[in-house]
Homo-oligomer: A and B are copies of this chain.
């Protein structure tokens, strides 16, 4: 089954929002073996919507549309769909009751005329009731092709997709797509390519191989498609088995198993150990990323964000003399931060970051992009110095990736 995704909204075309809906839809369709040929973003314009839908239906068996279903006048998707399918809007009594209930129970405001209009829906579509909002999903069939229209609010779209669209599609999809992605840290893509050149040349045509470089790591993806999932998996695994010995020094795990934050969490829990962090230049990003994973409270005790130098002394307890002698961005201060936070939080591991994200130099004499990372255990401390370039956001994200890499490697040895 082939699919196209159409995202509707002027906010996408002026760059006011990042189109994460397309990412989610692509992931979910791929997982059940539906290949996404194209993602198209267009404005809230009736003619554009109709044209894009027509083009998409020529190439694909399934078109998933998001956006343009809100109660306000700037939303045009329902009108466009009615014109395209030669349909008209009728009041759906079940949806009207559902909307009324939402306003009574959650919004705690009276329902108004705009809200009521959201129960006006195309007569030919199967209606997908939106448990978390007032914009219903719609499923049209025409010449054996499926057109599904979903709201643009990510939370509501995801709910409808997971609960009401994917289960139905899964029944009809006979093919499987298998993606396996190896996470590597520490070597650039061209040098990996050189190293694995003869392995790559031997890959059969039906296995696609891609390099995805990003902020200090390169992901290597093998993909294949077919009707027998077990067979495809076995074939890919066979090639991975030959790849692994070539990259064992840079390989940290599989992305599909879990993001690196989740792999770290799993290892901490398995070893029954705990973590505390002293973040400086990363400003809280490490803690924020780790705590996005449910269950993180089982091992992550907390952090001290010592953004201002004085906090490194007063809250973390780093010796004033050490800061004066070595400066805040130094090996010695980094080590002190990691040890002190470990001791203060009484955790198994203490991690620290201190560096200069720029654009100004602050209290330091080092260059912009200089970052020290330390990992402290009771009997051991590792400190490394990096230069992550001169772009503030990249420096922060590269530091976070490097912390995760160092931490994972350190616990894997336990």
Contacts and interface: CB of A to CB of B under 8 A. Distances in A.
Contact size range, A: 35 or more
A194 B177 CA distance: 47
A308 B304 contact: no
Given A112-B191, A223-B10, A291-B307, A209 B74 contact: yes
A279 B284 contact: yes
Interface string A198-211: 00100000001111
B311 A307 contact: no
Given A14-B36, A22-B41, A284-B284, A345 B315 contact: yes
A15 B11 contact: no
Interface in A269-295: 277, 279, 282-288, 290-292, 294-295
A224 interface: no
A290 B283 contact: yes
Contact of A41 (B17, B38, B42): B38
A26 B41 CA distance: 11
Given A36-B14, A114-B193, A302 B301 contact: no
Residue with the highest number of chain B CB atoms closer than 10 Å, among A223, A292, A297:
A297
A282 B292 contact: no
Interface of A: 10-20, 22-28, 30, 35-44, 48, 52, 70-74, 107, 109, 112-115, 134, 153, 155, 177, 179, 181, 188-191, 193-194, 200, 208-214, 219, 221, 223, 255, 277, 279, 282-288, 290-292, 294-297, 300-308, 310-311, 314-315, 344-346, 357-360, 362, 391-394, 396
